[in-house]
Amino acid sequence: MEKGGKKKILPIVGICALLLAWAFAAFYLSQYIVAYPLLWAFGKEWLGSSIGLFVYTLISYVLAVVLIVPAPRLINEKFKTNRDELGLSGLPTWTDIGLAPIGYIAATLLALGLISIFSYFPWFNAVENQDVGISLINTGWDRALAFVRLVVIAPIVEELVFRGWLYGKLRAKVAMPIAIFLVSLLFGIVHGQWNVGVNVFAMSIILCGLREVTGTIYAGILMHMIKNAIALAILIFFPSMLS
């Protein structure tokens, strides 16, 4: 019985590790694939501008979706993904709209709790700023580009990849708590900064919960947009709140 159990568990562990590794690698690989040609073609100064950062974000995120969602099907037909697995069945509902702000409040409270715990560790800096190109925002045009980049593109792509493709694949193989933890852990890691990682880890737990409750990622996309919009507004208009 034990041997049979181990035989069943090991392939599942391998599949989960492969899914996580693929999502992580493709997410980062897309950034390098896009960054170097843009640097070569337009230079560092342009890429560091508001419009350059917008173009880089748009192309790299689109490429990440292509690499993570449809590309594996080219390797083997069994890797194909349908709309239900991506959490894109049907259309957004009033329930999705209503749950989004509730989810935002829950994620904020959970993040505050986790950050307060991590603050006991000397290596954890709870107020370390995240570089999202705020220094480039000097005009109304810059603000518009930052809004589309951070409040529209990022939430849609990140929800499609993490709570859509990755969570859908993992949820088909493992129990809900394990799938939520793995997705949220990877989501925190790819943000590359301790305080931001803890924050988005908490957010991802709630986002995965919304996916479970609604069966889609629509509520999660809306909640993610709300969170990023509020964070962007604070960074632009009330930066002293973060110091």
Question: 87: phi > 0 → left, psi -120 to 50 → alpha, else beta; which?
Answer: left
CB-neighbour burial class of residue 51 (10 A; exposed 0-12, middle 13-18, buried 19+): middle
Give residue 191's domain range. 2-242
Three-state DSSP string of the chain: CHHHHHHHHHHHHHHHHHHHHHHHHHHHHHHHHHHHHHHHHHCHHHHCCHHHHHHHHHHHHHHHHHHHCCCHHHHCHHHCCCHHHHCCCCCCCHHHHHHHHHHHHHHHHHHHHHHHHHCCCCCCCCCCCCCCCHHHCCCHHHHHHHHHHHHHHHHHHHHHHHHHHHHHHHHCCCCHHHHHHHHHHHHHHHCCCHHHHHHHHHHHHHHHHHHHHHCCCHHHHHHHHHHHHHHHHHHHHCHHHHC
pLDDT value of position 126 = 79
The dihedral built from the CA positions of residue 201, 202, 208 and 211, taken in this order, carries a sign that is: negative
User: 79 or 26, which is more confident?
Assistant: 26
This prediction's pTM: 0.90
- Residues for the chain: how many in total? 243
**CA separation for the pair 110, 124 (Å, rounded):** 17
* Residue 63 clears pLDDT 70, i.e. is over it: yes
pLDDT value of position 78 = 75
User: Could you give the count of Cα atoms lying within 13 Å of 3 in the half-sphere of its Cβ?
Assistant: 0
Instruction: Give me the number of domains the chain comprises.
Output: 1
* Mean per-residue pLDDT over the chain, rounded: 89
| pLDDT > 70 fraction of the chain, expressed in percent and rounded | 90
Q: How far is CA 153 from CA 73, 198, 221, 227, 236, in A?
A: 24, 22, 10, 13, 19
Tell me: the pLDDT tens digits for 70-119? 888 887 777 788 899 999 999 999 999 999 999 999 999 999 999 999 98
* Res. 1 pLDDT band, cuts 50 70 90: very low
